[in-house]
């Protein structure tokens, strides 16, 4: 089988001179045209991206080293188990106010996007409002404090990692891909058509709008052929939505049809290993279900890293990331380094706050982690030294500019709503490589804030989870709650089967 770069060039040449077939490849020029367009659009976007300036959000708090004692830091970063009786325990007004004050102190001195989301001007108002509402409460429980914090902070913070108790703060913002497979559409010049009762009809309007392109998404039919469907992002509280489409035939007869777009939910996978590999009809499948080792005996992600070298000359591979809700970005970075033979740079602006609180929280987090991360012991030693020497209250920043990297092979990447955090970091990096096609649903959108830690309030024992930095990528804006969209939209549960059918239909293997 020829390398894909050569096939794309051949496809382009024969498209220009109007031939239908590409040598021995049959009619798979349809796929090559799609791939060529995808590479051109993504390559242009990547090569023209610039890191955004985040320095305005790197405010140094002058009283960083004195605002809170080491004993208080230890209390806030040491997690204690609580039982059902503790959950219902009444908390005094004094204790509740102290907990609320601690929340906003930790945010101010530790939370990476504190200034990004408005700083004192915004958060002081929220704190005052919560304390005012608290004064009217006769019986205060852990849940009441949680509800007041969610109500106050949710409108301001769009951060997929931010957690109050078990409540992720931007759940109400989350978008999920939805599509209809009632009609498959094909392109014909600037128009798209389908068949109704074996008669050809062109799509004219969707819900009265002629801007149909924003709804058209590439997909795969039951035979593995590239088609287009109607899709969009819905709020994840909606299971489905209906749209009315207007179709017209060659005689200008207009018919309307109501279609239903169904939400594309997660394809949950449970396994004892973070990485497994197998093949389907000779096509290697790299199943990466986590970016964390799942136990002290799990070494599979090191096998994953090595597979980058193993498959560097493989003409087609499938990387299945469905269900991968994150861990450490190091594994994905190392895999790409092995695959390409060089380290990959991506367009990203990064700022990270090293505070007294998050250094100690990080130490606690690393010491209790079951599956070890790359260079974990070195990181742990460095953080302990920073804490002992008082090396905190500072910011670190980096600004990188990435370029689209040539790649002769073809990589299909399966994604869904449960791909988050470091899983999305891997998706982000793979976008910088030529001939990579993402199939399934959009990722969760949980990528803005790195290095997330857990804190526990002393009186209510309510725990909070959030991080110390800010990532902004090539888009130049926060993608949390929206995530990365697929190139080919399909129900995530069907993504693997559909991808294999696509490969077979276009004789890519």
How do residues 376-401 score in pLDDT, each as one tens digit? Answer: 677 677 777 777 777 778 899 999 99
CB 488 within 8 A of CB 261: no
Mean pLDDT computed over 261-290:
90
Q: Is 61 exposed, middle or buried (0-12, 13-18, 19+ CB in 10 A)?
A: middle
Whole-angstrom distance, CA of residue 178 vs CA of residue 262: 5
Residue 451 has pLDDT above 70, yes or no: yes
Count of beta carbons in the 10 Å neighbourhood of residue 88: 10
Please report where in the chains the tokens 């002081």 appear, as a residue. 124
In this structure, of 16-25, 75-84, 298-307, 364-373, the range with the lowest mean pLDDT score is 16-25
Q: How many angstroms separate the Cα of 50 from the Cα of each of 190, 272, 346, 402?
A: 32, 40, 10, 8
* pLDDT, position 23: 35
Residue 151 has pLDDT above 90, yes or no: yes
Whole-angstrom distance, CA of residue 429 vs CA of residue 347: 9
Mean pLDDT, the chain, integer: 90
Whole-angstrom distance, CA of residue 29 vs CA of residue 4: 12
* pLDDT, position 354: 85
Mean pLDDT computed over 407-425:
97
Q: What percentage of the chain has pLDDT greater than the value 90?
A: 74
How do residues 160-183 score in pLDDT, each as one tens digit? Answer: 999 999 999 998 899 999 999 999
Residues whose CB falls within 8 Å of the CB of residue 461, separated by 6 or more in sequence, listed in order: 80, 82, 86, 142
* pLDDT, position 13: 43
Q: Is 44 exposed, middle or buried (0-12, 13-18, 19+ CB in 10 A)?
A: exposed
Whole-angstrom distance, CA of residue 191 vs CA of residue 46: 28
* pLDDT, position 268: 64
Q: What percentage of the chain has pLDDT greater than the value 70?
A: 91
Vertex 266, ends 229 and 221: CA angle to 5°?
30
Mean pLDDT computed over 359-384:
69
In this structure, of 185-199, 355-369, 457-471, the range with the lowest mean pLDDT score is 355-369
Mean pLDDT computed over 464-493:
96
Q: Report the b/e string of 248-275 with b at 16+ CB within 10 A.
A: beeeeeeeeeebebbbbbbbeeeeebbb
Q: How confident is the model at residue 368 (pLDDT cuts 50, 70, 90)?
A: low
Inter-residue long-range contacts of 37-44, CB under 8 Å, 24+ positions, other chains counted: 38/437, 38/487, 39/8, 39/404, 39/434, 39/435, 42/404, 42/431, 43/404, 43/434
* pLDDT, position 24: 40
Q: How many angstroms separate the Cα of 157 from the Cα of each of 447, 454, 468?
A: 13, 17, 14
Instruction: Locate 87 and state its tokens.
Output: 């959950």
Q: Is 149 exposed, middle or buried (0-12, 13-18, 19+ CB in 10 A)?
A: buried
How do residues 302-333 score in pLDDT, each as one tens digit? Answer: 999 999 999 999 999 999 999 999 999 999 99
428 φ, ψ (degrees, to nearest 5): -55, -45
CB 426 within 8 A of CB 304: no
- On the CB side of 207, CA atoms within 13 Å amount to 10
CB 130 within 8 A of CB 154: no
Instruction: Locate 17 and state its tokens.
Output: 């001179």
Closest alpha carbon to 93 in 123, 148, 136: 136
Whole-angstrom distance, CA of residue 174 vs CA of residue 238: 11
Whole-angstrom distance, CA of residue 13 vs CA of residue 35: 15
Q: What is the DSSP letter of 257?
A: E
* pLDDT, position 18: 40
Please report where in the chains the tokens 């990476």 appear, as a residue. 112
* pLDDT, position 5: 64
pTM of the predicted structure, to 2 decimals: 0.91
How do residues 291-303 score in pLDDT, each as one tens digit? Answer: 999 988 999 999 9
Residue 355 has pLDDT above 90, yes or no: no
Residue 20 has pLDDT above 50, yes or no: no
């Amino acid at each position: 089988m020829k390398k894909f770069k050569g096939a794309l060039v051949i496809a382009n040449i024969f498209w220009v001179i109007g031939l239908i077939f590409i040598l021995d490849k049959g009619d798979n020029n349809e796929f090559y045209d799609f791939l060529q367009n995808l590479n051109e659009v993504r390559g242009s976007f990547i090569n023209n991206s610039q890191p955004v300036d985040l320095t305005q959000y790197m405010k140094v708090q002058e009283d960083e080293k004195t605002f809170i004692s080491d004993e208080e830091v230890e209390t806030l970063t040491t997690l204690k188990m609580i039982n059902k009786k503790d959950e219902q325990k009444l908390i005094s007004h004094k204790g509740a106010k102290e907990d609320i004050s601690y929340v906003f102190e930790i945010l101010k001195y530790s939370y990476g996007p504190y200034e990004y989301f408005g700083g004192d001007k915004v958060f002081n108002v929220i704190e005052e409002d919560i304390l005012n509402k608290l004064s009217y409460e006769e019986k205060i429980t852990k849940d009441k404090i949680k509800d007041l914090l969610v109500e106050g902070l949710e409108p301001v913070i769009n951060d997929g990692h931010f957690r109050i108790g078990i409540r992720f703060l931007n759940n109400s913002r989350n978008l999920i891909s939805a599509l209809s497979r009632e009609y498959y559409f094909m392109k014909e010049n600037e128009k798209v058509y389908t068949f109704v009762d074996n008669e050809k009809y062109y799509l004219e309007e969707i819900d009265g709008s002629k801007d149909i392109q924003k709804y058209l998404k590439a997909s795969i039919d039951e035979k593995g052929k590239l088609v287009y469907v109607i899709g969009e992002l819905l709020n994840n509280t909606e299971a489905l939505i209906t749209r009315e489409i207007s179709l017209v035939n060659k005689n200008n007869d207009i018919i309307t049809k109501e279609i239903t777009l169904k939400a594309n939910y997660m394809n949950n996978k449970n396994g004892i290993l973070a990485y497994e590999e197998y093949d389907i009809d000779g096509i290697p499948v790299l199943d990466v279900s986590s970016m964390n080792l799942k136990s002290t005996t799990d070494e599979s992600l090191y096998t994953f890293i090595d597979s980058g070298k193993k498959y560097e000359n493989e003409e087609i591979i499938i990387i299945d990331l469905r269900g991968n809700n994150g861990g450490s970005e190091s594994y994905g970075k190392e895999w790409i380094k092995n695959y390409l033979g060089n380290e990959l740079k991506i367009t990203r602006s990064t700022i990270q706050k090293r505070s007294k609180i998050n250094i100690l929280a990080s130490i606690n987090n690393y010491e209790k982690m079951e599956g070890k991360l790359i260079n974990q012991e070195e990181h742990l030693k460095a953080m302990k030294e920073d804490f002992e020497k008082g090396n905190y209250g500072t910011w670190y920043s980096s600004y990188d500019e990435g370029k689209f990297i040539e790649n002769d092979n073809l990589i299909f990447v399966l994604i869904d709503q449960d791909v988050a955090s470091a899983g999305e970091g891997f998706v982000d990096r793979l976008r910088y490589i030529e001939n990579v096609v993402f199939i399934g649903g959009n990722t969760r959108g949980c990528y803005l804030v790195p290095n997330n830690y857990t804190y526990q309030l002393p009186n209510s024992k309510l725990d909070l989870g959030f991080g110390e930095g800010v990532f902004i990528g090539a888009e130049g804006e926060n993608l949390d709650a929206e995530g990365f969209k697929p190139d080919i939209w399909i129900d995530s549960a069907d993504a693997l089967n559909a991808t294999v059918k696509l490969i077979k239909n276009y004789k890519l293997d």
